[in-house]
Amino acid sequence: GVTKFDPWFLDRIREIVEAEEQVRQNGLPTATADMRRLKMMGFTDARLAKLTGFTEADVRKSRHGLGVTAVFKRIDTCAAEFEAQTPYMYSTYEAPMMGEVECEARPSDKKKVVILGGGPNRIGQGIEFDYCCCHACFSLTDVGYETIMINCNPETVSTDYDTSDRLYFEPLTFEHVMEILRIEQENGTLHGVIVQFGGQTPLKLAKALEAEGIPILGTSPDAIDLAEDRERFQALVNQLGLKQPKNGIASTDAQALEIATEIGFPLVIRPSYVLGGRAMEIVRDMDQLKRYISDAVVVSGDSPVLLDSYLSGAVECDVDALCDGENVHVSGIMQHIEEAGVHSGDSACSLPPHSLSKEITDALIEQTDALAKALNVVGLMNVQFAVKDNEIYLIEVNPRASRTVPFVAKATDSAIASIAARLMAGEPLTNFPKREPYRDVSYDETIPSADPMTLADPM
């Protein structure tokens, strides 16, 4: 009566709470039936690891040792009238009353590439990445690979059953991806996994997958970490002789205040290893910084914050490039119409740049080329620069597809996502003809979906 929930749901919640407490007290189950029951209730390996003090790898090994693995069923498109043939799978741990549950995945004997999608739409991670995933599927299918899509967003085109050869509708977590790869490796040849097209979500899985012996196509996980790790990246920037705004990385509240004093205000502060400008803020004094630290983020060794000097009045640029590890092609240079500090996901931009000199654009191309080669990028790369008083400052490098890829592809009439997929599969950039420099000017503007006609801001 207090919650207004139906008693049936309260009983199910009570069962989960009691099961969790039992695991916390007694540790991991040693019987197959008990482990299967936990998985049927929805306990992830990561949650079981946290409850017992083991690592996720320990839980996975124990679970597999008990013979408890996910099986895959096909989504039935014909209401059980005929046997389902659609290659659209989901996982389950449900077991029949008698015998073993049948796995309907039926992996093929083909050479296959797995593409990890972006998951649910959210700030900074939306349909632009789905565009990249779809074009990668089409491109790799054209050259003879079986494409396997893993995603969990029904709004996307990549989760249409006919976009890829095989589709797994699963969360983008290490556990779920590894269960799929375990099944797919039972037959055929896994050429590799592409993590570049889904934004930050799949990128975070690269190192863990590589540690399990899974081949990662494109830029290596170590190079991805080099671009993401502020200290390693700063050493690379210094080695290349490039400029950055004054910056620092803080693992404690006190350290953040100390670095802010050294850099000076205003400054841009944001968490590390995030996408889409989440929790990014321009702070103009110490009081505002203290409010940010207390309200917006938890600063720790696992969750450091980045502090950069804010370049007032600077022009911000986005550069998208293709690289095969040796050759680099700059696909597009975009100039933001708003001043630096407005996140690229919220700002408008023009392609080509509308006010930068040829000397500056040539220098942007030169610096992008140097960064791509130093990081040994294979596939797509996005670089963000700020230009102030004819000086170029490097803001950040993303060794993956960015949200600007669809815009650049359409503005320049160049299928850069398709080309990137084939570069990752092993083709050289010289296989693809270079496009002539763009002659027309194109503009990109972010329009909220609530009421696009009234909320669009005419420039």
Q: Are 351 and 332 in contact (CB under 8 A)?
A: yes
What is the per-residue pLDDT across 400-448, written as a single tens digit (0 to 9) for each?
998 899 999 998 889 999 999 999 999 999 998 876 656 556 666 655 5
Q: Return phi, psi of residue 164, to 5°.
A: -110, 170
Do residue 367 and residue 416 come from a single domain? yes
The CATH number of residue 298's host domain is: 3.30.1490.20
Q: Are 351 and 333 in contact (CB under 8 A)?
A: yes
Above 70 in pLDDT, residue 98?
no
Cα distances from 155 to residues 16, 75, 199, 211, 445, in angstroms, run 30, 17, 16, 32, 22
Above 90 in pLDDT, residue 62?
yes
CA proximity to 324, closest of 420, 216, 191, 414: 420
Do residue 157 and residue 28 come from a single domain? no
Domain membership flag for residue 286: yes
The CATH number of residue 47's host domain is: 1.10.1030.10
pLDDT at residue number 453: 44
Most confident listed range (125-139, 283-297, 357-371): 357-371
The range of the structural domain enclosing residue 384 comes to 315-455
Above 60 in pLDDT, residue 48?
yes
Crossing angle, helix 56-65 and helix 32-40, to 10 degrees? 120
pLDDT at residue number 313: 82
């040796």: which residue's tokens? 326
Q: State percent of the chain over pLDDT 90.
A: 55
What is the per-residue pLDDT across 344-390, written as a single tens digit (0 to 9) for each?
666 788 888 988 999 999 999 999 999 999 999 999 999 999 999 89
Do residue 101 and residue 202 come from a single domain? yes
Do residue 320 and residue 451 come from a single domain? yes
Two tokens at 382? 């996005």
Could you say which of 217, 235, 257 is where a domain stops? Answer: 217
Exposure string of 7-36, with b = 16+ CB inside 10 Å and e = fewer, is eeeeeeeeeeeebbeebeeeebbeeeebbb
Do residue 56 and residue 82 come from a single domain? no
Domain membership flag for residue 237: no
pLDDT at residue number 324: 94
Above 80 in pLDDT, residue 340?
no
Cα distances from 163 to residues 130, 166, 185, 335, in angstroms, run 11, 8, 21, 33
Domain membership flag for residue 225: no
Per-residue confidence band for 119, with pLDDT thresholds at 50, 70 and 90: confident
Residue 223 or 343, more confident: 223
Residue 216 or 103, more confident: 216
Domain membership flag for residue 234: no
What is the per-residue pLDDT across 301-336, written as a single tens digit (0 to 9) for each?
567 888 888 888 889 999 999 999 999 999 999 998
Do residue 199 and residue 160 come from a single domain? yes
The single-letter code of the amino acid at 411 is A
Beta strand residue intervals within 371-417, DSSP E: 378-388, 391-398
Do residue 295 and residue 412 come from a single domain? no
- Which of the 8 DSSP states describes residue 125? B
Instruction: Average the pLDDT over 452-456 and give the result.
Output: 48
DSSP character string of 229-273: -HHHHHHHHHHHT----SEEEESSHHHHHHHHHHH-SSEEEEESS
Neighbours of 433 (CB within 10 A): 7
**Into how many domains does the chain fold?**
4
Do residue 201 and residue 301 come from a single domain? no
Predicted TM-score (pTM) above 0.85: yes
Do residue 58 and residue 80 come from a single domain? no
In 3-state terms, what secondary structure has residue 174? helix
What is the per-residue pLDDT across 213-269, written as a single tens digit (0 to 9) for each?
999 999 999 999 999 887 899 899 999 999 998 888 888 888 888 888 988 888 888
Above 80 in pLDDT, residue 97?
no
Instruction: Average the pLDDT over 188-209 and give the result.
Output: 93
Domain membership flag for residue 235: no
Q: Are 338 and 318 in contact (CB under 8 A)?
A: no
pLDDT at residue number 306: 83
Domain membership flag for residue 230: no
Do residue 81 and residue 178 come from a single domain? yes
Per-residue confidence band for 85, with pLDDT thresholds at 50, 70 and 90: confident
Do residue 293 and residue 347 come from a single domain? no
Instruction: Quote the CA–CA distance of 258 and 305 in Å, as a whole number.
Output: 13
CA proximity to 263, closest of 229, 307, 314, 311: 307
Domain membership flag for residue 411: yes
Domain membership flag for residue 241: no
The CATH number of residue 404's host domain is: 3.30.470.20
Two tokens at 6? 């139906």
Above 90 in pLDDT, residue 201?
no
Do residue 438 and residue 395 come from a single domain? yes
pLDDT at residue number 403: 87
